[in-house]
Amino acid sequence: MRIFLIALWSAAFLLQAIAFSQSSETTLHNFAGGADGADPLGDLVYDSSTGLVYGTTDEGGGSSLCTKGCGTVFSISPNGSPYKTLYGFAGGTDGANPQAGLVIDQFGNLYGTTYNGGAHGFGTVFKLMPIGGGMFTESVLYSFPGGKPGEHPLSRLVLDPSGNLYGTTYAGGSGHGVVFVVSPSGSETVLFTFSAVNGSHPRAGVVFDPAGNLWGTTSVGGVANLGTVFRLSFSGSVWTETFLYSFTGPGGANPYAEVTIDSLGNVFGTTKFGGTPTCGFNAAGCGVIFELTPRGGGFTETPIYSFTGAADGAEPMADVTLVLDATGFRHLFGTASGAGTLGGTCPAKGCGTAFELCSIGSSCSGSTKWTEYTLFDFAGKHGGKTPASGMLVFSPVVTGSRPLGFPPSGRGTCTSGCMTTPSSGGSTGNGTIDRLSN
């Protein structure tokens, strides 16, 4: 869950003239596939204390123990200079292949997960501690042993006030994955074990709501085996599943990303497939953005936007970022891994898009509750392609009346700047770090 990521890059961003055209793209870094990394899959995170953005790559880093390298942790400034590899995974007990983004504590420590490696080969929870001069030292807090404690975490972690780290594993438990917590001392406790009926194979992590409940998604499982949204609540000494929504297709199918929760308790997320009508290149649908609205002690699910597989995008794999504008209206930013630009250096399903949804009443809203705008069409070699990560948004979102007819051709804006990491493409095909702005 990412809300109110507020940063002031420079006076130029604050004083820039308001424009209502498609966002422009700047490639801040082309991954070379060597020591600098390759295949960035996880969300970026901004640290206001250092002014740097941190992320991970699934491959690269220079280790020969993995075919294409075992992955990296990197930092970059919002303007692209400098880019720095903070850690290259060796692929042994230190872990390998981080596929999720990082979380930062109040002391500047970075925490994450690796899908592979560790003492048993089933992945790790790791910590990078700053040691001065922009340098970090890595330690493994926990190595998954396989079986009941979980195997192969794909998720980003979330911190509680006591420094405990919560996450999910894709496998292990009863074979369908688990929700776990790792203490600051490195001990792991399984909070919940999936059984297929109540969800299976979570790719995303969990997030806290204001009441302290944990929310998450599973990519499959549930009544139709098309994935679920679940809520875990703590009572006495155990966590129990107190809400379960099973996707059935028209309202979405197969969520890969964590959810985002607003102050009213509305839950937002994406599914890679599903939606109506079905899109041209995928009979299972091109994916949706959904909302779960509190109602009568439960929740009602609504697909607030179904992707068509055209210029708007297709198959979103990442979470949405919620930002409020100066008048309190909601904006959702995200990426779709396919469609948009077709042909050229893009595959048949397209190179993907960056998008914005504006809530009704906001300066960019239409006649429906949510209006979708394509911010940018990724083009392949220039600007990367197939983004699997979400959008890091630097607030505030512009407000005020838009002139009649704008944004032109249904385009939105990324007024104060956005960053994302297309997982492939770029000058070497290993992915990029892109900044979008007006």
Per-residue pLDDT band for 18 (boundaries 50, 70, 90) equals very low
Kindly indicate the confidence band of residue 1, based on its pLDDT and cuts at 50, 70 and 90: very low
| Residue entry with tokens 């990082």 | 102
Least Cα distance to 206 among 153, 163, 147 occurs for 153
Paired tokens of 309: 């597989």
pLDDT for position 416: 67
Which helix (H) or strand (E) element contains residue 45?
A: strand 45-47
* Confidence grade of residue 364 (pLDDT, cut at 50, 70, 90): confident
Residue 412: what pLDDT? 53
Chain centre distance of CA 342: 24
Element (H, E) at 87: strand 83-88
Mean pLDDT of the residues in the chain: 89
CA dihedral (373, 378, 383, 386) positive or negative? positive
Q: Is the pLDDT of residue 410 over 70?
A: no
Task: Provide the 3-class DSSP secondary structure of residue 354.
Answer: strand
- Give the contacts of 307 (CB within 8 A, at least 6 positions apart): 275, 279, 286, 287, 288, 313, 314, 315, 316, 336, 339
Count Cα atoms within 13 angstroms, Cβ side, for 4: 6
Q: What is the DSSP string of 100-152?
A: S--EE-TT--EEEEESBBSSSSB-EEEEEEEEETTEEEEEEEEE--SSTT-B-
* Residue 431 pLDDT level (bands cut at 50, 70, 90): very high
Query: Tokens at residue 299, please?
Result: 């929740």
**Helix, strand or coil for residue 375?**
strand
pLDDT band at 438 (very low <50, low <70, confident <90, very high): low
pLDDT of res. 365: 84
pLDDT at 346: 85
Kindly report, residue by residue over 89-134, the tens digit of the pLDDT: 999 999 999 999 999 999 999 999 999 999 999 999 999 999 998 8
Please state, in angstroms and rounded to a whole number, the distance separating the CA atoms of residues 271 and 281. 16
Report residue 103: phi and psi, to 5°. Answer: -125, 145
pLDDT of residue 10: 29
**Rounded to an integer, what distance in angstroms lies between the CA atom of residue 211 and that of residue 213?**
6
Distance of alpha carbon 300 from alpha carbon 304, whole angstroms: 12
Residue 126: the pLDDT is 98
Which pLDDT belongs to residue 21? 39
Res 414 pLDDT > 90: no
Q: What is the rounded distance in angstroms from the CA atom of residue 178 to the CA atom of residue 166?
A: 11
Give pLDDT, residue 401. 40
Residue with tokens 């880019």: 83
Asked whether the CA dihedral 127, 128, 131, 136 is positive or negative, the reply is: positive
The average pLDDT across 151-174 equals 97
Give mean pLDDT, residues 267-292: 91
Which pLDDT score is estimated for 413? 63
pLDDT in tens, 25-56: 899 999 999 999 999 999 999 998 999 999 99
Collapsing DSSP to helix, strand or coil, 337 comes out as coil
**Which range is least confidently modeled, 38-52, 73-87, 130-144, 389-403?**
389-403
Query: For residue 293, is pLDDT > 50?
Result: yes
171-180, 216-225, 338-347 — which is least confidently predicted?
338-347
Q: How far is CA 176 from CA 147, 200, 294, 332, in A?
A: 10, 5, 28, 31
